[in-house]
C-alpha cells in the first residue's frame, strides 16, 4: 500500500466518522466546554448546569492496579465531576467497568488528609450504540439504595447513567442529541455548535489535518505495540518447552492487531493481512465477525 493510498483510507474514515466513534469524538470535543456542557445538560436534564473544565483521553496511572483512560472528564462550577464514555460494543460498557470508572474518579478526587465527606458528587455516563442493559429505555439512571428502608437512596452521590443510542426519539432533546451522534453529515445535525465542530474536522483544511495526523499517530501506536508484543512472543517461541503456547499467543496477538486495523478502517484486507502476518482468508473472517 502506497503512502497516498494510506492517506486516502484515513480521509475516507474521517468522511464516514460520527461522534459515536470515540476517536473522532475525542478529537472533536478536546477542551470543548460548550459542547460537553450541552451534552451533560441534555442527558441529566439540568439546563442551568455550568461546565468549567473539560479534558479528553485523560490517562490515570495506577501503581498497584489497572490504568484507565477516560474519553471525556469534566468538572462543573459546583465541583461535581463527570466522566463521559463512548462505547459502540456492549462488552465495553459492562456494569463493573462503570463501577471501576466511578472508583477511579473517587481515588483521584481526595488529597492526603482530606475528609471523605469532601468527595465530590460524580457521574459516570456511558453513551452506547446498542442497549447494554436490555430494557428498551432511552436512558437508565443507577444509584445505590437501602433495601431495608423501602429503597431509600443511599445518598453517596455516586451516579451511573447509560444512554441507549439505539432508542432515539426525535421529539426529545436527548433523541435529537443522539441523532447528532450517529450523523456523518454535519449539515443534517440538530445542534449547531456540535455541527460546527464536526464540520471543522471533516471539511476545513486545518481541522482535517489535525484529525488525519491524530489517526495516523494512533495507527502507528497500534502497529508498534503489536510489533513489540510479537517480538516478545517470538523470543518465547524459541524455547522448546513453551513453543506451542507461544505460537498460540503470537497468533492471538496478530489477530488482535488485525482487528484494530479493521476497526480503524484505513487499510485494505490484503494490506492488513500483510501487516499482521496473517492470511487474507483469516483477516476476511475477522472482518466478517466484526460486521456480524
Tens digit of pLDDT per residue, the chain (292 long)?
Answer: 566 777 788 888 899 999 999 889 999 999 999 999 999 999 999 999 999 999 999 999 887 788 999 999 999 999 999 999 999 888 789 999 999 999 999 999 998 899 999 999 999 999 999 999 999 999 999 999 999 999 999 999 999 999 999 999 989 999 999 999 999 999 999 999 999 999 999 999 999 999 988 888 877 776 666 666 665 555 555 454 445 555 566 677 778 777 877 877 767 788 788 777 788 888 888 888 766 6
The total number of residues shown for the chain amounts to 292
Q: Give the Cα separation of 291 and 271 in Å (integer).
A: 19
Query: What residues pair up with 8 in beta bridges, in sequence order?
Result: none
Which pLDDT score is estimated for 287?
A: 83
User: DSSP letter string over 137-177?
Assistant: -SEEEE--EEGGGTTEE----EEEEEEETT---TTSHHHHH
What is the signed CA dihedral for 19, 206, 185, 15, rounded to 10 degrees?
A: -80
Which pTM does this prediction carry? 0.77
Which pLDDT score is estimated for 9?
A: 81
Helix crossing, 243-264 with 280-291: angle to 10°?
60
All three cell numbers of 167, joined, read 432508542
Which pLDDT score is estimated for 256?
A: 78
Which pLDDT score is estimated for 173?
A: 97
Closest among 198, 105, 181, 100 to 138, alpha carbons compared? 181
Q: Give the Cα separation of 235 and 230 in Å (integer).
A: 9
Amino acid at each position: 500500500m502506497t503512502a497516498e493510498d494510506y492517506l486516502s483510507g484515513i480521509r475516507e474514515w474521517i468522511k464516514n466518522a460520527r461522534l459515536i466513534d470515540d476517536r473522532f469524538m475525542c478529537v472533536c470535543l478536546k477542551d470543548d466546554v460548550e459542547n460537553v456542557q450541552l451534552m451533560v445538560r441534555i442527558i441529566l436534564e439540568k439546563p442551568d448546569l455550568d461546565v468549567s473544565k473539560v479534558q479528553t483521553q485523560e490517562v490515570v496511572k495506577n501503581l498497584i492496579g489497572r490504568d484507565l483512560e477516560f474519553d471525556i472528564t469534566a468538572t462543573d462550577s459546583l465541583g461535581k465531576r463527570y466522566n463521559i464514555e463512548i462505547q459502540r460494543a456492549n462488552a465495553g460498557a459492562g456494569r463493573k467497568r462503570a463501577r471501576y470508572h466511578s472508583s477511579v474518579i473517587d481515588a483521584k478526587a481526595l488529597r492526603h488528609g482530606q475528609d471523605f465527606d469532601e468527595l465530590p458528587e460524580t457521574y459516570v455516563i456511558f453513551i452506547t450504540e446498542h442497549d447494554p442493559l436490555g430494557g428498551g429505555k432511552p436512558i437508565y439512571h443507577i444509584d445505590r439504595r437501602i433495601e431495608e428502608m423501602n429503597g431509600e437512596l443511599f445518598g453517596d452521590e455516586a451516579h451511573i447513567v447509560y444512554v441507549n443510542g439505539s432508542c432515539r426519539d426525535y421529539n426529545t432533546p436527548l433523541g435529537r442529541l443522539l441523532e447528532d451522534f450517529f450523523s456523518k453529515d454535519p449539515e443534517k445535525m440538530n445542534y449547531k455548535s456540535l455541527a460546527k465542530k464536526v464540520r471543522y474536522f471533516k471539511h476545513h483544511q486545518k481541522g482535517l489535518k489535525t484529525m488525519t495526523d491524530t489517526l495516523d499517530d494512533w495507527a502507528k501506536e497500534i502497529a508498534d505495540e503489536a510489533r513489540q508484543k510479537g517480538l516478545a512472543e517470538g523470543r518465547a517461541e524459541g524455547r522448546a518447552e513453551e513453543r506451542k503456547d507461544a505460537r498460540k499467543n503470537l497468533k492471538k496477538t496478530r489477530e488482535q492487531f488485525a482487528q484494530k486495523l479493521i476497526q480503524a478502517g484505513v487499510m485494505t484486507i490484503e494490506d492488513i493481512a500483510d501487516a499482521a502476518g496473517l492470511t487474507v482468508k483469516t483477516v476476511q473472517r475477522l472482518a466478517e465477525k466484526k460486521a456480524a
